[in-house]
Amino acid sequence: MPRSGELTYYERIGEEGRRHAVCKPFSDQDCGLYLMRAGALFSLLPLPPARILECGCGTGWLAYFLRQRGYQVVATDVAPGAIRLAQANPIFRNGESVRFHVADTEALAFDSEFDAVIFFDSLHHAVDELAALRSAHRALVSGGICITLEPGRGHHRKSEEIEAAHDVTEKDMPPSYVRRLGRAAGFRRCRIYPSPYHLGKALYANNRVGSGWLCGLLRVPPFRFLAVLGIILLRRWHCGITVLHKS
């Protein structure tokens, strides 16, 4: 069951917060990194018109991208306020649209209906992440895939103030952990890819990598490429994309 703050989050963040949520990713300072992550996701998905379930869709920006690509999309969120904002968005009013539902990811009613299930920054909000992955496994057809793009190690520590202020769940959700959960949920094969967020930050976000000597090294091309190599070879286990396969 979700914490109470998950259910009322969009009512409590105010008008400016709701406007930011509706206009993502373009309203976010990390817009370019969001788009890189979305691009990597599209490269890992089966081709359209595959049937896609997005779990924890928020206000629906990724669902819109998926629909524009030609996918058949069902998008769920546990927060009624998020679904109301998505359904009221003019981008969903014309033509064949996304099907939005208020639903708890940990107890979905779908059974063998989708070619892919997506958790994009949402699995780490689950109180019972194993139950969420079991729901995803049940929702997939044989041969379907579940893709998670989640914050890695250190996220909970960085989000303790947000967790306390809004009564929401904020967890570390590294691929190594998701892989273990996936096996317990019934998935039999797993592949882990490097994080587009961290690759993009190392390669392109010259003025926003942060401060300090380590961030300063990222502005020097040789060290930047060494950082990229480290992300590809090692860091992917801590902050990459996880693809779980249903046999």
Q: Mean pLDDT throughout 236-242?
A: 82
Query: Which stretch of DSSP H or E encloses residue 230?
Result: helix 221-230
Query: What pTM did the predictor assign?
Result: 0.89
Q: What is the pLDDT of residue 198?
A: 80
The yes-or-no verdict on residue 232 having pLDDT over 80 is no
Q: Mean pLDDT throughout 203-210?
A: 60
Strands of the sheet with 99-102, listed across from one edge: 99-102, 72-77, 51-55, 114-120, 140-149, 241-245, 189-193
138-158 residue pLDDT tens: 999 999 999 999 998 888 888
Q: How confident is the model at residue 129 (pLDDT cuts 50, 70, 90)?
A: very high
Q: Mean pLDDT throughout 10-25?
A: 96
CATH of domain 4-194+239-245: 3.40.50.150
Q: How confident is the model at residue 165 (pLDDT cuts 50, 70, 90)?
A: confident
Q: What is the pLDDT of residue 204?
A: 77
Residues contacting 141, CB < 8 A, separation 6+: 112, 113, 114, 115, 246
52-106 residue pLDDT tens: 999 999 999 999 999 999 999 999 999 999 999 999 999 887 667 899 999 999 9
Q: Where are the domains of the chain?
A: 4-194+239-245
C-alpha pair distances (Å), 172 with each of 12, 86, 185, 204, 215: 24, 27, 19, 25, 23
Among the residue ranges 4-13, 95-104, 141-150, 232-241, the one predicted with the least confidence is 232-241
* Measured distance between the N- and C-terminal CA atoms of the chain, rounded to whole angstroms: 28
